[in-house]
Structure 1
């Protein structure tokens, strides 16, 4: 009977998740643009409250043009400063897509070639000693994260105005290879720092200055900059870490991979300029063929990124939608920040989402899922996060039910005298040794997890991850009680 009840509860949880999702999807598809905006006005604050996200800024692109933008929540909780679509934010790795435009600008001018070794264009700096043949590292490799370079050290943050290493000093410290150039996808901030140096050495200009004059200003991104300024159109908000604690504004010593400051509207102008076919603008800073080059797959995506994307081009992740259209996207994650944009170049549709919290992946997934459904795309890879949250809750429920059931059985057996405490290891059966080993492994993993400053699972699944840790702890307790009070009986659920 107890097993039957547990199975029924699990089935109900699964049906509830599936039916709720289907109902919501069918409602969103039929909404007008105004209706979808109203839907977002209702849903985004609810998701912000659910996941503990202080502020969100969002912008929509239709038919290749910015049509709507809005801010929700707070840019500054202490001062109760509202987040708006004009609030200048750290956009983190969205910077890479913008930097890629700068590199393609030089390609169009004939100053560099995508398949030329990057070392041929670098002055007054050379690769640190390595067994890898650096002549094989091309500009295309760097743009597509297939250079074999390491990710780079995370958390090297500086207060605005604080003394920091030069770009060349940083590269001499950070440039390290983890595999041969061209072997496979390996996400690398360092690669984009090299592209930053490439732009400076080829043009003889400061990277931030070049990007401002050649990319940002021509796209009317006049409130954006790779250079920190006290004169931004709005103060830059604090970020907020996984615990919700404020993170003061910081900068990196490098800029090409994650140094851009921009608001949602400027990001939307950038996204809108990335359309093709009938939505390509003749006022674009790049030729349409160059825009298409950015979206041409160079390498298959591997690792955790493969769950949401199939390929990587030049500064963009690439996925094939259920209707066989191509979507491209980029996102950023820093200390206290999460950002994202998605676009379908052939349809002129795009969306930008900026948040000042490290707890935002599920929220971003919800927004993208609704946006994709509303546009008739069916789904996007990032929707996997929303689905995974639902299935994690089901898993947590099952673990809690089974653990509490076992603990209850053991307690009842002890009270009735059918079980007794036995601390003599020599008396343990084989199944008890297995349970003891599982307990030790699980407890070790849990202790390691809770002592980390950052865990990917906590970042992707805030709130849920805490319950999962609790459920696994309770499961470990049930295992240990089975060892101590279940001398000759097998572990049954």
Structure 2
């Protein structure tokens, strides 16, 4: 009986210490207590200089970066391994496309042509959601925009090396043959719509079809006429345009070798081409004091920034918008990142309170833009943003595991010593 009591006592002690240890590491990572940003320089010119220094530590093929202060452009900087880059160089921006595509969807909502809470199937005739074990009418426009529609596709589009191989939109929705590894390419409703946040490239491909059906235009034509032209974003498009070949950035693999351009069916999710200069115009769209023409009103822009999804009890996503970290007024640093292969990494972060921001476009690196932009958020707010926390998870789990191992050894040693001592 005494042996059992001792066993239960030490087991309870071990569990309590492990819980405290895991909680302490989680909180410390979340608060950024162990995070050291790549620079301590907050001023735009000094931050840019630090970025240029950081570029020397790893391979980045092409880079364009802009910093905003108080709603005004403060600094720009460029880097290229070969073909020169400037503010008019055209980049593919991967999943940053979703953020811009969502603005196009919200334009239709504001115009009364879409209802955020209507079943998306109401607007589809060319393709239908597949049968599921759940109520497909719960797959709404809002839930597709917020990745809470129950889709479990996990897409991820790798694109096509030859434009002749690009699938039709309907064929891609049935089974995307350019799906990233880890996805079989099918759109499936695998969990209860509205029950959880699951990032879904396929959901934005459904939205792409919906925009085409409602507008009567191709997705690219609709975005050109309704969003890009009013904002004078003359170097932005979803369907590749050969007229921009001379201004297209070089693509690279991580080893520094040149990579081929990719072509996409899933335009809304992955295929936006744009320039730093054009994204700067998009930045001004969010500034209520800016008098430039706004295809979407501030009221409907702000709907995109409201909390629609959480992970681990923390707000993470609105409507096509990452909520990177909470601000003092209850708002968030908002925007989106993009990541694809061959290595493309892009970041757009906007602080709607201070009207500060960062835009960063890169090729040849899988995470350089995200890391730099996350450190910018950390320097501005003192907080670890959603994507920086995700990048730190591997390190956090490793520290938790090592500490837990030593805690088990320590408690076992104490129990052994006390028992042999008696």
**CA distance 1:168–1:23, shift in 2 (3 Å):** closer
Q: Distance in 2 between matches of 1:265 and 1:291?
A: 21
Shift of 1:24: 5.1
Deviation readout 1:22-61 (Å, 9 max, x if unpaired): 9953xx24x4xxxx324413x2232222122222111123
Q: TM-score, normalised by structure 1?
A: 0.66
SS in 2 for 1:246: coil
The answer for the alignment partner of 1:45 in structure 2 is 52
Partner of residue 346 from structure 1, selected from 342, 353, 357: 353
Higher relative contact order (CA 8 A, sep 6+): 2
SS in 2 for 1:262: strand
Structure with more helix by fraction: 1
The number of equivalent residue pairs is 360
Conservation of the 8 A alpha-carbon contact between 1:322 and 1:379: no
**CA distance 1:119–1:390, shift in 2 (3 Å):** closer
Question: Which segment drifts farther, 117-126 or 313-322?
Answer: 313-322
Q: Distance in 1 between matches of 2:99 and 2:114?
A: 18
Q: Distance in 2 between matches of 1:385 and 1:148?
A: 22
SS in 1 for 2:152: coil
**CA distance 1:39–1:149, shift in 2 (3 Å):** closer
SS in 1 for 2:103: helix
SS in 2 for 1:162: helix
The answer for the alignment partner of 2:382 in structure 1 is 378
Counterparts of 1:89-104 in structure 2, within 5 Å, are: 89-104=91-106
Deviation readout 1:176-230 (Å, 9 max, x if unpaired): 1221111100000000001100011011111100001101121121111111011
Conservation of the 8 A alpha-carbon contact between 1:272 and 1:350: no
Q: TM-score, normalised by structure 2?
A: 0.76
User: Which runs of 5 or more residues in structure 1 are unaligned?
Assistant: 1-16, 75-79, 399-430, 432-493
Partner of residue 62 from structure 2, selected from 33, 55, 67: 55
Partner of residue 186 from structure 1, selected from 180, 194, 198: 198
Q: Distance in 2 between matches of 1:20 and 1:289?
A: 36
**CA distance 1:160–1:70, shift in 2 (3 Å):** farther
Conservation of the 8 A alpha-carbon contact between 1:69 and 1:265: no
Shift of 1:272: 2.4
Shift of 1:323: 4.2
Counterparts of 1:144-223 in structure 2, within 5 Å, are: 144-159=146-161, 161-173=163-175, 174-223=186-235
Shift of 1:388: 7.6
Is the counterpart of residue 269 in structure 1 residue 281 in structure 2? yes
Cα RMSD, aligned residues only? 3.2
Counterparts of 1:77-476 in structure 2, within 5 Å, are: 80-159=82-161, 161-173=163-175, 174-232=186-244, 234-276=246-288, 279=289, 281=291, 283-301=293-311, 310-321=315-326, 323=328, 325-335=331-341, 336-361=343-368, 364-370=370-376, 373=379, 376-381=380-385, 382-384=387-389
